[in-house]
């Protein structure tokens, strides 16, 4: 049986599941080139169907991870807000109307939109509980027969977190945290307070937090985010409200406690770093509080995490280190894109069609392009290439990396989830102290404090990192051993940790061969690995890879087995659009 899962809210995505097997999954942003796009994921759906060689009419069910009609709780909150502040009421009202008119209407008319834009179908969409879909997206592809499940995000239909237990194919809900008390919204509000984009730049705040002292943590614990003995928490929205923060309105009391908020582009001061550090530590404590309570409720040995807050790899790592769970699993698309996959799996399960559970061990579920496609794309841009055998290519690329060159590495199927894990990656030598500055200068116009992550041969991770557990999806951090900090300075964050990707023997043989070749030459089984994009979603096709390559000063582009040297001209962004210049 075939089920299509799709989400047309923020982080729109589609996934196609056949019995227990995931055939394809992709985020719409990669096709339409708009980060976190909210849209009917037409391109992602078409890709999934094409990958399986079927049409929408062949699909046995369409699953959507939102019950759009559950509005009562949110409407009540908006009315409650009116009593507190007319400004808040206006903001909530406007947002409510926006959501009702756009997103929920899109959900309600999804069936007809699908028919118009993708093709006829035998089935109407089935709308499912958002947090149950998150839970299914992690537990049903985890290696555990029994596991506690913790879902934490900004908001579902009426909740912000869910504690559950999974056994076999069943998921039993134990507790839910109701809106407006939301860890995701708390962190998003702080993100906006610090001058970054809420619901998008939280990872920047997490990176920044390593540079600060949590001197506001006590204040936040006492006045903003209080942990309760029953395992839940309360958010004081009169001090820090997510909806007001989105439009950068902060109540005077909040500004008195934390100081003036930062506007985008303003200088980052030590106080801002300290606020980031404080919010981070308070968030970690709250997530640990939930996970600890869940352990008491279930006695489970394992934990599955899902929801946008599960991208906070520092919090994930503290759970692993400090709580009594033996193993922690996070599905790589932990955020709302992943809920599309969860919806497909959950509907499959509810209908009794989930013949078996298959563990998700890699993320390569997106589109793949042939060598012919790559050659054609290169020819169109007049670029010369050199073709290699696989082994010779690894060797050659490793040599270039060893020389300090930067390499765009484009291989096989695109990654599912926000991390580039060796198929759409920018790679560099982690041993060079100046590599961060070099990458920021040549490619990424990004904040200099943001860390770069390492990919490491799994069996050699313990030589560099303190008790590293498996982290195939870059969703955990590990302390770098003091003795080797100087060996790989480009991938050690300010707090002495790295967000590692452990590369095992089977998940990505080609990327592994490159790591092995680099280890043979340098003795270091590690590469700096960041995503293949330049202020845009990660590239999907060879054409996008080439365009990104030409807009940067990166030395080499690898498309499959083709090696492309940076040409002697570059495309520069000008006020009138891209223009070709000789160097």
Tell me how far apart the alpha carbons of residues 397 and 428 are, in angstroms, rounded to a whole number.
10
Nearer to Fe ion by Cβ, of 335 and 542: the residue is: 335
Contact 498, 454 (CB under 8 A): yes
Tell me how far apart the alpha carbons of residues 197 and 83 are, in angstroms, rounded to a whole number.
28
The two tokens of residue 36 are 């976190």
Tell me how far apart the alpha carbons of residues 380 and 77 are, in angstroms, rounded to a whole number.
55
Contact region for Fe ion (CB under 5 A) — 20-28, 173-181, 328-336, 566-574?
328-336
- In the complex, least distance from residue 10 CB atom to Fe ion, rounded to whole angstroms: 9
Burial class, 379, CB count within 10 angstroms (exposed 0-12 / middle 13-18 / buried 19+): exposed
Nearer to Fe ion by Cβ, of 23 and 39: the residue is: 39
Nearer to Fe ion by Cβ, of 131 and 436: the residue is: 131
CA atoms within 13 A on the CB side of 6: 31
**Does 202 interact with Fe ion (rule: CB under 5 A)?**
no
- In the complex, least distance from residue 50 CB atom to Fe ion, rounded to whole angstroms: 27
- In the complex, least distance from residue 201 CB atom to Fe ion, rounded to whole angstroms: 17
Contact region for Fe ion (CB under 5 A) — 22-30, 37-45, 101-109, 335-343?
335-343
The closest residue (CB) to Fe ion is 153
The two tokens of residue 242 are 């997510």
- In the complex, least distance from residue 154 CB atom to Fe ion, rounded to whole angstroms: 7
- Binding string, residues 106-145; x marks residues near Fe ion by CB under 5 A: ----------------------------------------
**Does 336 interact with Fe ion (rule: CB under 5 A)?**
yes
- The conformation of residue 469, written as its DSSP 8-state character, comes to P
Q: What pairing do the DSSP bridges indicate for beta strands 407-410 and 556-559?
A: parallel
- In the complex, least distance from residue 282 CB atom to Fe ion, rounded to whole angstroms: 21
- In the complex, least distance from residue 43 CB atom to Fe ion, rounded to whole angstroms: 21
- In the complex, least distance from residue 499 CB atom to Fe ion, rounded to whole angstroms: 22
- In the complex, least distance from residue 124 CB atom to Fe ion, rounded to whole angstroms: 23
DSSP element (H, E) containing 390 = helix 390-402
Tell me how far apart the alpha carbons of residues 542 and 371 are, in angstroms, rounded to a whole number.
10
- In the complex, least distance from residue 11 CB atom to Fe ion, rounded to whole angstroms: 8
Contact region for Fe ion (CB under 5 A) — 90-98, 330-338, 420-428, 480-488?
330-338
Reference 168, options 382, 21, 357; nearest CA is: 357
Mind giving me the DSSP string for 155-204?
--SSEEEEEEEEETTEEEEEEEEETT--HHHHHHHHHHHTTS-TTT-HHH
Contact 553, 407 (CB under 8 A): no
Contact region for Fe ion (CB under 5 A) — 96-104, 151-159, 224-232, 421-429?
151-159
Site size toward Fe ion, by CB under 5 A:
2
Contact region for Fe ion (CB under 5 A) — 100-108, 336-344, 457-465, 480-488?
336-344
Mind giving me the DSSP string for 481-522?
PGGGTTTSGGG--TTSEEE-EEE-SSS-HHHHHHHHHHHHHH
Tell me how far apart the alpha carbons of residues 287 and 317 are, in angstroms, rounded to a whole number.
11
**Does 153 interact with Fe ion (rule: CB under 5 A)?**
yes
Nearer to Fe ion by Cβ, of 343 and 488: the residue is: 343
Whether the CA torsion 343, 344, 345, 349 is positive or negative: it is positive
Nearer to Fe ion by Cβ, of 153 and 458: the residue is: 153
Q: How far apart are the first and last CA of the chain?
A: 56
Nearer to Fe ion by Cβ, of 162 and 397: the residue is: 162
Nearer to Fe ion by Cβ, of 195 and 308: the residue is: 308
Tell me how far apart the alpha carbons of residues 347 and 343 are, in angstroms, rounded to a whole number.
6
Contact region for Fe ion (CB under 5 A) — 146-154, 412-420, 428-436, 557-565?
146-154
Contact 234, 308 (CB under 8 A): no
**Does 199 interact with Fe ion (rule: CB under 5 A)?**
no
Nearer to Fe ion by Cβ, of 315 and 550: the residue is: 315
Burial class, 529, CB count within 10 angstroms (exposed 0-12 / middle 13-18 / buried 19+): buried
Please give the backbone phi and psi of residue 362, each rounded to the nearest 5 degrees, phi first.
-145, 170
Nearer to Fe ion by Cβ, of 125 and 307: the residue is: 307
- In the complex, least distance from residue 136 CB atom to Fe ion, rounded to whole angstroms: 12
Contact region for Fe ion (CB under 5 A) — 110-118, 150-158, 381-389, 392-400?
150-158
- In the complex, least distance from residue 161 CB atom to Fe ion, rounded to whole angstroms: 10
- In the complex, least distance from residue 165 CB atom to Fe ion, rounded to whole angstroms: 20
Burial class, 319, CB count within 10 angstroms (exposed 0-12 / middle 13-18 / buried 19+): buried
Mind giving me the DSSP string for 248-293?
T---HHHHHHH-SPPPTTSPPPHHHHHHHHHHHHHHHHHHHHHHHH
Nearer to Fe ion by Cβ, of 20 and 308: the residue is: 308
- Binding string, residues 43-72; x marks residues near Fe ion by CB under 5 A: ------------------------------
- In the complex, least distance from residue 206 CB atom to Fe ion, rounded to whole angstroms: 18
**Cβ-based neighbours of 101, under 8 Å, separated by 6 or more:** none
Q: Which residues bind Fe ion (CB under 5 A)?
A: 153, 336
């Amino acid at each position: 049986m075939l089920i299509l899962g799709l989400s047309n809210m923020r982080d729109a995505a589609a996934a196609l599941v056949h019995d227990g097997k995931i055939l394809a999954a992709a985020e719409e942003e990669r096709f339409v080139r708009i980060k976190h796009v909210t849209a009917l994921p037409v391109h992602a759906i078409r890709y999934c169907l094409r990958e399986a060689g079927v049409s929408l009419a062949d699909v046995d069910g369409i699953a959507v991870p939102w019950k759009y009609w559950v509005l009562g709780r949110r409407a009540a909150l908006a009315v409650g807000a009116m009593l507190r502040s007319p400004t808040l009421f206006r903001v909530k009202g406007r947002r409510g109307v926006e959501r009702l008119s756009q997103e929920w209407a899109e959900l309600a008319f999804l069936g007809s939109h699908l028919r118009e834009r993708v093709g006829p179908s035998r089935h109407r969409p089935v709308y499912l509980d958002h947090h149950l879909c998150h839970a299914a997206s992690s537990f049903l592809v985890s290696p555990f027969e029994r596991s506690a499940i913790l879902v934490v995000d900004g908001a579902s239909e009426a909740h912000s977190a869910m504690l559950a237990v999974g056994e076999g194919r069943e998921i039993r809900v134990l507790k839910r945290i109701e809106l407006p008390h939301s860890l995701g919204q708390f962190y998003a509000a702080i993100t906006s307070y610090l001058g970054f984009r809420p619901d998008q730049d939280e990872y920047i705040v997490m990176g920044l937090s390593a540079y600060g002292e949590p001197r506001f943590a006590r204040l936040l614990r006492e006045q903003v985010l209080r942990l309760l003995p029953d395992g839940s928490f309360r958010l004081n929205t009169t001090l820090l409200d997510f909806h007001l923060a989105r439009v950068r309105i902060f109540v005077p009391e909040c500004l008195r406690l934390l100081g003036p908020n930062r506007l985008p582009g303003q200088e980052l001061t030590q106080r801002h770093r300290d606020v980031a550090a404080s919010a981070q530590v308070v968030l970690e404590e709250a997530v640990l509080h939930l996970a600890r309570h869940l352990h008491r409720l279930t006695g489970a040995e394992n934990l599955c995490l899902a929801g946008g807050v599960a991208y906070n790899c520092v919090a994930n790592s503290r759970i692993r280190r400090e709580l009594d769970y033996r193993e922690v699993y996070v599905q790589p698309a932990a955020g709302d894109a992943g809920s599309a996959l969860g919806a497909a799996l959950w509907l499959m399960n509810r209908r009794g069609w989930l013949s078996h559970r298959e563990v998700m061990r890699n993320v390569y579920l997106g589109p793949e392009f042939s060598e012919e496609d790559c050659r054609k794309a290169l020819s169109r841009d007049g670029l010369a290439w050199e073709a290699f055998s696989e082994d010779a290519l690894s060797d050659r690329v490793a040599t270039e990396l060893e020389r300090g060159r930067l390499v765009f590495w484009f291989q096989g199927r695109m990654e599912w989830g926000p991390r580039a894990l060796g198929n759409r990656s920018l790679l560099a030598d982690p041993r060079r102290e100046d590599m961060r500055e070099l990458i920021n200068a040549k490619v990424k116009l990004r904040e200099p404090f943001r860390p770069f992550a390492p990919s490491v041969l799994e069996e050699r991770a313990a030589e560099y990192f303190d008790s590293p557990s498996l982290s195939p999806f870059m969703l955990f951090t590990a302390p770098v051993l003091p003795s080797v900090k100087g060996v790989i300075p480009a991938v050690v964050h300010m707090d002495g940790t790295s967000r590692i990707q452990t590369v095992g023997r089977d998940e990505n043989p080609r990327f592994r061969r490159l790591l092995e070749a680099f280890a043979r030459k340098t003795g270091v089984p590690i590469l700096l690995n960041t995503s293949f994009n330049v202020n845009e979603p990660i590239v999907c096709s060879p054409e996008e890879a080439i365009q990104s390559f030409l807009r940067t000063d990166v030395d080499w582009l690898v498309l499959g087995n083709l090696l492309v040297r940076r040409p002697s001209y570059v495309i520069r962004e000008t006020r009138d659009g891209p223009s070709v210049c000789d160097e």
